[in-house]
Amino acid sequence: MSVIPAELSYTTSHEWVSVEGDTYTIGLTDFAQDALGDLVFVNLPMEGDEVVAGEAFADVESVKAVSDVFSPVTGTVVQINEDLLDAPEAINEDPYGAWLVRVEEVSEVGDLLDADAYEAHCAQEA
Amino acid sequence: MKLLFERSVAGRKQTIFPDLDVPEATFDETLVRQSAPRLPQMAEVDLGRHYTELAKQTHGVNDGFYPLGSCTMKYNPRVNEQVAALPGFADIHPLQPEETVQGCLGAMHELEGMLAEICGMDAMTLQPAAGAHGEYTGLLLIRAHHLANGDTGRTKIIVPDSAHGTNPASAVMAGFTVVSVPSDAQGGVDLDALRAAVGPDTAGLMLTNPNTLGLFDPNIVEICQIIHEAGGLCYYDGANLNAVMGHARPGDMGFDCVHVNLHKTFSTPHGGGGPGSGPVGCKAFLAPYLPNPRVVERPDGTLAFSCSEQSVGKVRSFYGNFLVAVRALAYILTLGREGIPEASASAVLNANYLAHFLAEAGYALPYGERCMHEFVIDVGPLKAETGVSAMDVAKRLLDFGVHPPTMYFPLIVHEALMAEPTETESRETLDEFVGLMTGILKEAHEDGERLHSAPFTCPIGRPDEVKAARKPHVRYEFDEEG
């Protein structure tokens, strides 16, 4: 059973979002990291890049496959978690600590699930 | 085994150089290196043994069965090699005047014509050096077409979720963004999802048919129509052409351009990294954009290179991997008009034979027993029951001198083993494989735990792929610096 913190919001494509003021922090869920397996590479956008809700903004590579990471919001990247570039395993070890990007100037938020709805979604996919 | 540097002995060398019979040149001191390069020091015999030892640890079609799905590991007939070694093909220079290489231009022209006929296209280029290179070239044609029409808003390429990973990668390389569409329950393109995905920003669709599940999409004509009505073009990934050559043509299905893999479908060598060859074909309206130069026939019947001003430019030096093209021409001429469709029919028959008996042995086939040239086994149910994964089954096959099927692909089947026997395997070989797979199934039920450490007879069993990817160690570390 994967960990799904109650205070976060989720996408059906397995990203988590936390909101503090105007800042949206985005990462990959425990379910996602478990399905992907050991990550060996993370490709992040640049600070200042525009991201669009529902479109890929980053990709992660495991020994099995490369997978896109989709943005839950439309906005501007203000910070990226550079530590992940050298240590992608942090996402496997601590998915809710290892955030990918922080986005501000958000103009649109895509469809998000609360923890209960996301848990039901994961149960369906498992 | 020992590395070259570990075999090195200071001062040992193979010095059978002829006497220097040209004046010795002197170079400016700044251009001359200060210390000798640290190269392994060894005799030719040591070097030869090192590489022979490495070669013995590899597996090729000449060693045994190689049912690697979507790779079409068919046997490469020796006659191809004989033809490619003819001095008129092998001992030429790419900058020779056209009139001195008319035979070579003729071989290129003839092969282009035959591939165009097999694909239902009007023009071909032999320049791309591999399949993904062909995809990239084909996408450049699509882009050039839209730009020539002033259609600058067509920036998206639609790719089904069962596609080869190279498709989205090539689309991004060619400057497009990728839109993924899901498969339906039968493994084909979900038409509703496709209709929802197309629009004024659609540049085109990339599709492999039959797809990576070994299924021919019955809606192919409608799929191409949906794309065309939206103003996009259709690109056929020829990775699985071996299933349909001489029976169905991408051009007749509605595709506008295509690449073929000579190293898959047309029996040129695969191993050792190639060289591959991914000729690209297109309908007449895209032909002006093909890479320069192209072989054309002059009014007097001689052949020459010709350049188009609208061309996307060169995608490779000179004319592609020419001697690989010669091998493919030899193959097509050997099989002829009757042999080409028969090869595909046998490839499909072999795959169905294998699928049937593996299903009978107890393996799960998520999309049924009927397939084209390849099929996907789902090891998921076996894993749930015994803990034995697709990886374990694949590793165990190595013990029996068989190359495993493609693992964990396509991604839509989580514990996938994708098998493609090709037409060049005998019924006996297929039966032997069924026997091995049946034995592994029995082992999984009796002692699944043991299979987690297979293979038991190979020099290397389970390399740490995660460590190799995260911390690759690719430089020899000398004992002392200096």
Q: Indicate yes or no: CB of A40 within 8 angstroms of CB of B177.
A: no
Residue to test with chain A: of B155, B413, B462, B470, most A Cβ within 10 A? B470
Check residue B143 and give its pLDDT: 98
Q: Answer with the one of B288, B305, B334 that is the final residue of a domain.
A: B334
| Residue A23 to chain B, least CA–CA distance (Å) | 27
In a domain, B41, yes or no: no
Q: Characterize B32-65 residue by residue with b for buried, 16 or more Cβ atoms within 10 angstroms of its Cβ, and e for exposed.
A: eeeeeeeebbbeeebeeebeeeeeeeebebeeeb
Residue spans of beta strands (DSSP E) within B136-181: 156-160, 177-181
Q: Judge contact between B118 and B249, C-beta under 8 A.
A: yes
* A42, closest residue in chain B (CA to CA): B470
What is the rounded radius of gyration, in angstroms, for the C-alpha atoms of chain A? 13
Alpha-carbon separation of residue B426 from A41, B108, B421, B432 (angstroms): 42, 33, 10, 10
DSSP state of B359: H
Q: The CATH number of the domain where B393 resides is what? A: 3.90.1150.10
Residues of A in contact with B178 (CB under 8 A): 56
In a domain, B57, yes or no: no
Residues of A in contact with B462 (CB under 8 A): none
Q: B171: domain range?
A: 78-334
- Note whether B312 and B413 are same-domain residues: no
Alpha-carbon separation of residue B273 from B79, B263, B277 (angstroms): 21, 11, 11
Q: Judge contact between A74 and A105, C-beta under 8 A.
A: no
Residue to test with chain B: of A36, A55, A63, A125, most B Cβ within 10 A? A63
Residue to test with chain A: of B181, B212, B412, B466, most A Cβ within 10 A? B466
In a domain, B15, yes or no: no
Alpha-carbon separation of residue B408 from B162, B233, B250 (angstroms): 12, 30, 28
**Full DSSP string of B231-282:** T-EEEEEETTGGGTTTT--HHHHT-SEEEE-HHHHT----GGG------EEE
Asked if A93 is an interface residue toward chain B (Cβ–Cβ < 8 A), one would say no
Q: Indicate yes or no: CB of B466 within 8 angstroms of CB of A64.
A: no
Check residue B458 and give its pLDDT: 93
- Note whether B213 and B283 are same-domain residues: yes
Using CA atoms, how far apart are residues B354 and B352, in angstroms rounded to an integer? 5
Q: Judge contact between B297 and B303, C-beta under 8 A.
A: yes
- Note whether B238 and B317 are same-domain residues: yes
Q: Judge contact between B413 and B376, C-beta under 8 A.
A: yes
Q: Answer with the one of B334, B365, B393 that is the final residue of a domain.
A: B334
| Residue A20 to chain B, least CA–CA distance (Å) | 31
Q: Indicate yes or no: CB of B165 within 8 angstroms of CB of A64.
A: no
- Note whether B377 and B322 are same-domain residues: no
| Residue B59 to chain A, least CA–CA distance (Å) | 22
Q: Indicate yes or no: CB of B466 within 8 angstroms of CB of A38.
A: yes
- Note whether B351 and B306 are same-domain residues: no
Q: Judge contact between B219 and B94, C-beta under 8 A.
A: no
| Residue B177 to chain A, least CA–CA distance (Å) | 9
Residues of A in contact with B177 (CB under 8 A): 55
Check residue A57 and give its pLDDT: 94
Q: What is the dihedral of CA B293, B296, B299, B304, to 10 degrees?
A: 50
* B415, closest residue in chain A (CA to CA): A64
In a domain, B162, yes or no: yes
The minimal CB distance from B411 to the residues A55, A65, A89 is found for A65
Q: Is A33 helix (H, G, I), strand (E, B) or coil?
A: helix
Q: Indicate yes or no: CB of B466 within 8 angstroms of CB of A41.
A: no
Task: Read off the pLDDT of residues A74-101 as tens digits, 9 standing for 90 and up.
Answer: 999 999 999 999 999 999 999 999 999 9
What is the rounded radius of gyration, in angstroms, for the C-alpha atoms of chain B? 25
Q: Judge contact between B228 and B258, C-beta under 8 A.
A: no
Angle A121-B412-B142 from CA coordinates, rounded to 5° = 115
Asked if A117 is an interface residue toward chain B (Cβ–Cβ < 8 A), one would say no
- Note whether B270 and B191 are same-domain residues: yes
Q: Judge contact between A12 and A121, C-beta under 8 A.
A: yes
In a domain, B235, yes or no: yes
- Note whether B371 and B411 are same-domain residues: yes
In a domain, B64, yes or no: no
Number of domains comprising chain B: 2
ipTM of the complex: 0.75
Q: Answer with the one of B316, B334, B352 that is the final residue of a domain.
A: B334
How many Cβ atoms are within 10 Å of B476's Cβ, its own excluded?
12
Within B366-409, residue ranges assigned H as helices are: 380-386, 390-398
- Note whether B291 and B387 are same-domain residues: no
| Residue A113 to chain B, least CA–CA distance (Å) | 22
Domains and CATH numbers, chain A: 9-118 (2.40.50.100)
A39 pLDDT above the threshold of 60: yes
The minimal CB distance from B470 to the residues A40, A56, A66 is found for A40
- Note whether B212 and B353 are same-domain residues: no
Within B362-476, residue ranges assigned H as helices are: 380-386, 390-398, 427-451, 465-470
| Residue B466 to chain A, least CA–CA distance (Å) | 6
- Note whether B251 and B358 are same-domain residues: no
Using CA atoms, how far apart are residues B415 and B392, in angstroms rounded to an integer? 11
In a domain, B51, yes or no: no
* B406, closest residue in chain A (CA to CA): A64
**Chain B interface, Cβ < 8 Å to A:** 165, 177-178, 408, 411, 465-466, 469-470
Residues of B in contact with A56 (CB under 8 A): 178
Check residue A90 and give its pLDDT: 96
| Residue B271 to chain A, least CA–CA distance (Å) | 22
Q: Judge contact between B282 and B290, C-beta under 8 A.
A: yes
Check residue B273 and give its pLDDT: 59
- Note whether B262 and B395 are same-domain residues: no
The minimal CB distance from B465 to the residues A63, A88, A89 is found for A63
Q: Indicate yes or no: CB of A63 within 8 angstroms of CB of B177.
A: no
In a domain, B54, yes or no: no
Widest CA span in chain A: 37
Q: What does each of the 482 residues of chain B score in pLDDT, given as a tens digit? A: 889 999 999 989 877 788 999 999 999 999 999 988 889 999 999 999 999 999 898 898 999 999 999 999 999 999 999 999 999 999 999 999 999 999 999 999 999 999 999 999 999 999 999 999 999 999 999 999 999 999 999 999 999 988 888 999 999 999 999 999 998 988 899 999 999 999 999 999 999 999 989 999 999 999 999 999 999 999 999 999 999 999 999 999 999 999 999 999 999 998 665 689 999 999 999 999 999 999 999 999 999 999 999 999 999 999 999 999 999 999 999 999 999 999 999 999 999 999 999 999 999 999 988 999 999 999 999 999 999 999 999 999 999 999 999 998 888 898 999 999 999 999 999 999 999 999 999 999 999 999 999 999 998 999 998 888 888 888 888 876 54
The minimal CB distance from A63 to the residues B165, B411, B466 is found for B466
* A57, closest residue in chain B (CA to CA): B177
The minimal CB distance from B469 to the residues A56, A63, A65 is found for A63
Q: The CATH number of the domain where B118 resides is what? A: 3.40.640.10
Q: Judge contact between B351 and B427, C-beta under 8 A.
A: no
Residues 6+ apart with CB under 8 A from B286: B123, B141, B142, B144, B145, B233, B256, B257
Check residue B358 and give its pLDDT: 98
- Note whether B377 and B266 are same-domain residues: no
| Residue A38 to chain B, least CA–CA distance (Å) | 7
Q: Is B306 helix (H, G, I), strand (E, B) or coil?
A: strand
What the block records as the tokens of B138 is 């084909």
